[in-house]
Amino acid sequence: MKMLLLPIITTILLIATPAISLASKISLITVSKKDRELILWNEKTIYQRYPIKLSISYNNPLFRSGPKLREGDNQTPEGHYKISKKRTRTRFPKSLLISYPNWKDRHNARVRGMPESELGGMILIHGAPYRPNSKILVWAKKWGIEEEQVDSWARDYLYPNFDWTNGCIAVSDEDMNQIFSLIKKGTPITIYP
């Protein structure tokens, strides 16, 4: 029996080792809001680049880009953070929770006389949601459009071509699967304007 288990265990270890060792080599994530790009770094070497989408507000020519200042402002934070949690089976199949607000965000809120509770949170790196936003579904239902049609339109047209989040950082589902497998909790992330 022991002789039968040895090849199975060896095979499992050989398959799992590259993913485990590669994840430990990703030392930093950087995001450029201006360039719409997320980069994974292995020390000082770029490992991989991914195109990103940001807030739906960027589709409005009157929207002014800047750091996140409060919940509901549709801005993506700027600064130094960490990946605080790897999440599965929430609104998105996979997502990475960013440690916003950090100490600097909380300090700046106090200086502005704003309660920390108004800063918001739940800033994620994610792919497409399981289902479209409920506001879109309510609007579509008024026009007799079925949820499946809305989902298909969003996946084929909206998500790849437009900024569509509420302040999160969105990537394709394929890219999210790869990023999720490479990142561990605690990985630093720097978000630039």
Domains for the chain: give ranges and CATH numbers. 2-192 (2.40.440.10)
| pLDDT one digit per residue (tens) for the chain, 193 residues | 555 555 555 555 555 545 445 556 899 999 999 999 999 999 999 999 999 999 988 888 888 888 999 999 999 999 999 999 999 988 999 999 999 999 999 999 999 999 999 999 999 999 999 887 777 788 888 888 888 888 888 889 889 999 999 999 999 999 999 999 999 999 999 999 9
SS (H, E, C) the chain: CHHHHHHHHHHHHHHHHHHHHHHHHCCEEEEECCCCEEEEEECCEEEEEEECECEHHHHCCCCCCCCCCCCCCCCCCCEEEEEEEEEECCCCCEEEEECCCCHHHHHHHHHCCCCHHHCCCCCEEECCCCCCCHHHHHHHHHCCCCHHHHHHHHHHHHHHHCCCECCCEECCHHHHHHHHHHCCCCCEEEEEC
